[in-house]
């Protein structure tokens, strides 16, 4: 039986594209939101989840870092999807026919220049793949969707204009999540360790906690903070570092981190994707 991988959103989304690139042998399970995608894996309905965590233009994806520490899942891989935005219209439509284009609120500003130049009004849709489905069902030649070419394939739409995004390097990073951790050394580009921690309530705790990574030569590629439980005083940090916890320098750095923190939780140990290099 074919295994399943859960995503937030509908078929044809960029999450679906990430699955097709990295797990083409798995069936995609669309879910209403991130919580449903996580729960699908926890319950065994799906074996894996493909979750977006950050975008090169818009930063981190809302809610993901809040959900990951309590998800019960483990990061086993990362992948990057180049976000190409295309104008998708019903068969027979031409670009000059389009008066309205539908897409997710985040995607519309990414192609504002193209929309202005072509006198097209942007319309907000819950999801870019949902926009493609709605346009296909409406069969209105004046309405288009802004989405991936994959969405056009799935919903039978024509590509009226390709790669209309304003930024030429817009990329989203995805994490593959599993019920079972995989801490084995693998891949050809080194390992990444992701973890969350809370610092002790002492002066300069974060500064001191970070000192161990500098003195032991461990490269920290990401450090983000967010509130815990609605408190303005309890702050949790999410971090990515280069290396495996069994590496001597990483072990020393993590030991020093532990001294200045109240809690450390490893979210995943996984191979670095070549596209991050």
What pairing do the DSSP bridges indicate for beta strands 86-89 and 121-125?
unpaired
Q: Would you say 69 and 135 are in contact if contact means Cβ atoms under 8 Å apart?
A: no
Catalytic residue among 34, 79, 114, 174: 174
The residue among 194, 191, 178 whose CA lies nearest residue 267 is 194
The answer to whether 262 is a known catalytic residue is no
Alpha helices in 139-230 (DSSP H): 149-155, 205-215
Catalytic residue among 34, 79, 114, 172: 172
Give CA–CA dist 277/273, Å, rounded.
8
Strands (E) located in the chain:
4-8, 27-31, 48-55, 59-60, 74-82, 86-89, 100-104, 121-125, 143-147, 158-161, 171-178, 191-199, 220-227, 235-242, 261-271
Give CA–CA dist 234/76, Å, rounded.
28
- Tokens 């996984």 locate to 270
Both tokens assigned to 38 = 């996580």
The answer to whether 172 is a known catalytic residue is yes
- Tokens 């969707």 locate to 145
Give CA–CA dist 31/143, Å, rounded.
26
Active-site annotation, residues:
172, 174
């Amino acid at each position: 039986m074919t295994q399943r991988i859960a995503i937030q959103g509908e078929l044809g989304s960029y999450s679906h594209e990430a699955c097709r690139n990295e797990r083409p042998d798995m069936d995609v399970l669309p879910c209403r939101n991130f919580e449903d995608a996580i729960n699908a894996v926890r319950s065994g309905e799906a074996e894996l989840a493909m979750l977006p965590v950050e975008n090169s233009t818009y930063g981190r994806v809302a809610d993901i870092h809040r959900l990951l520490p309590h998800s019960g899942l483990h990061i086993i891989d990362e992948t990057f999807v180049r976000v190409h935005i295309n104008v998708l219209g019903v068969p027979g439509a031409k670009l000059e026919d389009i008066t309205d284009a539908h897409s997710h609120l985040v995607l519309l500003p990414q192609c504002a220049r193209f929309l202005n130049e072509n006198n097209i009004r942007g319309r907000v849709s819950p999801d870019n793949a949902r926009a493609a489905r709605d346009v296909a069902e409406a069969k209105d030649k004046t309405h288009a969707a802004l989405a991936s070419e994959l969405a056009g394939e799935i919903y039978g739409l024509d590509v009226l204009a390709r790669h209309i995004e304003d930024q030429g390097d817009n990329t989203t990073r995805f994490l593959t999540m599993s019920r079972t951790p995989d801490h084995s050394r693998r891949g050809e580009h080194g390992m990444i360790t992701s973890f969350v921690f809370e610092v002790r309530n002492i002066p300069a705790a974060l500064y001191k906690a970070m000192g161990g990574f500098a003195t032991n030569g461990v490269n920290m590629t990401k450090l983000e903070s967010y509130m815990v439980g609605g408190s303005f005083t309890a702050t949790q940090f999410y971090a990515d570092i280069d290396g495996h916890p069994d590496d001597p320098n990483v072990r020393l750095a993590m030991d020093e981190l532990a001294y200045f923190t109240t809690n450390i939780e490893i979210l995943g140990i996984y191979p670095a994707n070549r596209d991050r290099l």
